[in-house]
């Protein structure tokens, strides 16, 4: 194969690799943000479970306070009951006592329900904490993997860029300029392979004369359809492709 054409092919390989590596590296912040969101969601569930349990316990303490107040009131009423003078006062007092006892009974029931709710709330909180710990571990592993892969990709990128620089220095300015122009006009692909007269980049069919010329090693040819620099792979590569 024409030596310049071979360099252009390798330049294209480097450029394609550089493009995909840069694209891959640029996804790192998004990947880390997604991991971070999983961690935040797990912590938010712990926080929600804590707030829920606090609410239950706060409510229960309130009911306990009310029950105590009602208990004292009941004691006072019972003392007063022995001191009433009239039947009417006695009846009123008895009624007060009944009402207060009923209130205390209701409060005690609510306190019991609150205790059951607190148990369920504690179970939820423990589950959320365990799940968050697991998520934290997974997130750290995932972050490590993302960072390691990015570091590898950066290394590969540096190598590809160095290789590209070397190749570009070996290609004459005019040919390189042509390559760059087509590459920027044709979505990053300036060099295309031709198989059985068909340009593999644009699908256009080459005239027999141009196709035959590709087998001679003396010139750089372009596809009439897409203007890309074209080549035919040697027999050995044809078999692989």
Judged by CB under 5 A, which of 107, 223, 229, 232 binds Zn ion? 223
Judged by CB under 5 A, which of 8, 226, 229, 232 binds Zn ion? 226
198 part of the interface to Zn ion, by CB under 5 A: no
Helix (H, G, I), strand (E, B) or coil at 205: strand
Judged by CB under 5 A, which of 5, 171, 190, 199 binds Zn ion? 199
Report how many residues bind Zn ion under the rule CB under 5 A: 7
81 part of the interface to Zn ion, by CB under 5 A: no
Task: Estimate to the nearest angstrom the gap between the alpha carbon of 35 and the chain centroid.
Answer: 5
Label residue 174 exposed, middle or buried (CB < 10 Å: 0-12, 13-18, 19+): exposed
Span from 81-89, 93-101, 132-140, 198-206 in contact with Zn ion (CB under 5 A): 198-206
- Toward Zn ion, which CB reaches closer, 157 or 226? 226
Determine the Cα–Cα distance for residues 161 and 21; give it in Å rounded to an integer.
Answer: 11
Report angle CA 155, 160, 166 to the nearest 5 degrees: 130
> Which of left, alpha, beta for 109 (phi over 0: left; psi -120 to 50: alpha)?
alpha
Length of the chain (residues): 241
Judged by CB under 5 A, which of 202, 210, 220, 233 binds Zn ion? 202
Q: Which residues bind Zn ion (CB under 5 A)?
A: 199, 201-202, 204, 223, 225-226
């Amino acid at each position: 194969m024409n030596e310049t054409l071979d360099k252009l092919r390798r330049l294209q390989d480097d450029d394609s690799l550089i493009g995909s590596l840069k694209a891959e590296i640029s996804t790192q912040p998004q990947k880390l943000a997604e991991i971070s969101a999983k961690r935040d969601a797990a912590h938010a569930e712990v926080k929600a479970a804590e707030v829920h349990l606090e609410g239950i316990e706060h409510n229960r303490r309130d009911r306990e306070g009310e029950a105590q107040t009602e208990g004292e009131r009941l004691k006072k009423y019972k003392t007063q009951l022995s001191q009433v003078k009239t039947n009417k006062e006695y009846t009123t007092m008895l009624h007060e006592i009944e009402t207060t006892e009923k209130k205390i009974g209701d409060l005690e029931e609510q306190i019991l329900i609150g205790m059951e709710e607190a148990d369920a709330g504690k179970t939820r909180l423990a589950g959320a904490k365990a799940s968050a710990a697991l998520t934290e571990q997974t997130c750290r592993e995932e972050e490590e993997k993302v960072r390691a892969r990015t570091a590898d990709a950066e290394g590969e990128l540096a190598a590809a860029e160095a290789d590209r620089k070397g190749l570009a220095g070996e290609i004459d300015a005019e040919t390189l300029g042509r390559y760059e122009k087509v590459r920027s006009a044709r979505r990053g692909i300036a060099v295309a392979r031709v198989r059985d007269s068909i340009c593999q980049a644009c699908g256009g069919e080459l005239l027999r004369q141009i196709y035959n010329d590709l087998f001679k090693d003396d010139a750089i040819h372009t596809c009439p359809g897409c203007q890309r620099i074209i080549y035919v792979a040697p027999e050995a590569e044809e078999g692989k492709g």
